[in-house]
Amino acid sequence: MDEAFEGRVLVIANRLPITIKEVSEGDFEYNISSGGLVSGLRSLAKAVDFKWFGWPGIDIHRNDKDKVRHDLADKFNAYPIFLPEDLAQRHYNGFSNSVLWPLLHRMPEKVGAEESWSKAYQEVNEIFADNIVPYVEDGDIVWVHDYHLLLLPGILRARLGKKKNLRIGFFLHTPFPTDDFFTILPFREEICQSLLLCDVVGFHTQEYARDFLDSASVVLEGVSRSPSDLHWDGRKVIVHGFPIGIEPGDFREKMESDAVKQELDGLKNQFKGQKILLGVDRLDYIKGIPQKLRAFDRFLTEHKEWLGKVVLIQLAIPTRPDVVTYQRLREEVESLVGHINGKHGTFSHTPIHYLYRSIKPEQLCALYAASDVCIISSIRDGLNMVSYEYIACQNKETAGTLMMSYYAGAVKTLPSCIVINPWDIPRFANTIRDVLDMPQEERRQRYTENAHVVDTYTSVRWGTSFLNTCYKMELPKQTDGGT
Ligand code: G6P
């Protein structure tokens, strides 16, 4: 276990871990938000005391701002950065999710373009800096997260140059593309300069770190590099893979609850005598949901002996519903589900159970525990936390199997998953059959090896390892996370 970390830390991420709802005029309800970044950092908060700055998702009347600020600081150690709605939309739906997100995932054909988006992006990064600067003290670590805030480290370094022993860290929760995709980006030089004004820049895998080092060397002059650091403009920057994790203990604890046991009994009863394949994904085009559905269709077509004996439960968690590419994906997925159920279903058997919504944590744990196989078919994915959560809810007896896309970062960290190419539908379909036929002994061995990783490389370990690297400016002795 990496040593605990005790310095003062400010965490900055686009989204606060809390969503605010105005239930009646001047009366607010606070709910915990979901997502890999939020849950990873929330677990870290148990081990490291940090202030969390971010956008609360809504703008509220100026008379209510102080009350909300007070509530959030008091109850959650969270500091909201309010943004005018139109600006927030152009930053979030516009530049962040319609330009950066597709390019970071190497999908230039999905990029949208509106001139006002890049200006909004720069403005929001400036507003974040305005809100954070008054809180920073000598010796602090300011840890900036994700693609919504790529320009923020550079702005903070310029404004906080006089602070003593200030460390700035940046962690990207997505993949980093190769330089032929990265160089498509508007203000690519500014993004690289900003990141190189950090002390530590972290990615989920060593491959993403290497791709960033390559891009920085292409875009900026005067960069000299070694495998895990870089020198530019008289400064040293550590660039390395720090794969995030989860807190498996939290899932196991939930598994013991009556609510989960009840849900699990219900599922076992409903799907008695059938194998369950599971997909849990935000409804995002990076997740390869159409590929998974087509492979399942092909599997049922080629292996009729399995008809009526296997179901695919696909949970599609709503995300970014205002972005047009996400609306089109929903239409495509729902039409495929209808087509496949119409083709292979009977009055007594529905092959795909599809839900477009979030479900309660207890229901999710039960679903993970009840499923024989979890299929991750992303066509590009930073790490993929669903795979870790699935393993955490299994045990040596159930020994569920993970099918993992070659294009998800977790393929590098979980050694014993079954690797699939989501583009190769015939082989993907055959692999579903092979996995369903896998002997119990092999399932158990693979589960045990994956569980060891999930138990060892937790989100607390990820966070303390990153922060200690910022603090000491040297890498931990043993590279974390098996990348
Ligand atoms: C990815 C991103 C996170 C983001 C999450 C959910 O994991 O790296 O920054 O919070 O997706 O997306 P959303 O747009 O709903 O916050």
Smallest CA-to-CA distance from 244 within 377, 393, 414 is with: 414
Judged against a pLDDT cut of 90, whether residue 117 lies above it is answered with yes
Pick the atom of ligand 1 nearest to 148's CA: 9
Q: Give the mean pLDDT of 103-122.
A: 96
Tokens 């300069």 belong to residue: 193
Q: Copy the structure tokens of residue 398.
A: 């159930």
CA 287–ligand 1 middle distance (angstroms): 13
H or E stretch at 317? strand 310-317
CA 427–ligand 1 middle distance (angstroms): 31
The mean pLDDT value of the chain amounts to 94
3-state class percentages of the chain: helix first, strand second, coil last, to nearest 5 = 50, 20, 35
Mutate to test the pocket of ligand 1, among 176, 282, 378 (most ligand atoms within 8 A of CB): 282
CA 240–ligand 1 middle distance (angstroms): 21
Q: Say if CB 85 and CB 59 are below 8 A apart.
A: yes
Give residue 93's pLDDT: 97
CA 38–ligand 1 middle distance (angstroms): 8
Mutate to test the pocket of ligand 1, among 58, 146, 358, 385 (most ligand atoms within 8 A of CB): 146
Q: Which residues line ligand 1 (CB under 6 A)?
A: 15, 35-37, 146, 173-174, 319-320
pLDDT digits (tens, 9 = 90+) for 308-365: 999 999 999 999 999 999 999 999 999 999 999 999 999 999 999 999 999 999 999 9
Mutate to test the pocket of ligand 1, among 150, 173, 381 (most ligand atoms within 8 A of CB): 173
CA 209–ligand 1 middle distance (angstroms): 20
Q: Pick the residue whose CA is nearest to atom 15 on ligand 1.
A: 319
The four Cα atoms 432, 382, 209, 140 give a dihedral, to 10 degrees, of -150
Give SS3 for 370: helix
Q: Which residues contact 477 (CB under 8 A, 6 or more apart)?
A: none
Q: Pick the residue whose CA is nearest to atom 2 on ligand 1.
A: 173
Judged against a pLDDT cut of 90, whether residue 297 lies above it is answered with yes
pLDDT category of residue 217 using cuts at 50, 70 and 90 = very high
**Burial class of residue 410 (count of CB atoms within 10 Å of its CB; 0-12, 13-18, 19+):** buried
Q: Copy the structure tokens of residue 119.
A: 């200006």
What distances in angstroms separate CA 55 from CA 17, 134, 311, 387, one per listed residue? 9, 17, 40, 28
What distances in angstroms separate CA 150 from CA 4, 157, 254, 359, 408, one per listed residue? 28, 13, 36, 32, 22
Q: Give the mean pLDDT of 288-315.
A: 98
Pick the atom of ligand 1 nearest to 174's CA: 8
CA 37–ligand 1 middle distance (angstroms): 7
Q: Pick the residue whose CA is nearest to atom 14 on ligand 1.
A: 320
pLDDT digits (tens, 9 = 90+) for 422-480: 999 999 999 999 999 999 999 999 999 999 999 999 999 999 999 999 998 888 765 55
DSSP 122-177: HHHHHHHHHHHGGG--TT-EEEEESGGGTTHHHHHHHHSTTSTT-EEEEE-SS---
Pick the atom of ligand 1 nearest to 36's CA: 7
pLDDT digits (tens, 9 = 90+) for 154-195: 999 999 988 999 999 999 999 999 999 999 998 899 999 999
Mutate to test the pocket of ligand 1, among 14, 19, 37 (most ligand atoms within 8 A of CB): 37
pLDDT category of residue 3 using cuts at 50, 70 and 90 = low
Mutate to test the pocket of ligand 1, among 103, 281, 319 (most ligand atoms within 8 A of CB): 319
Q: Give the mean pLDDT of 12-18.
A: 91
pLDDT digits (tens, 9 = 90+) for 383-426: 999 999 999 999 999 999 999 999 999 999 998 999 999 999 99
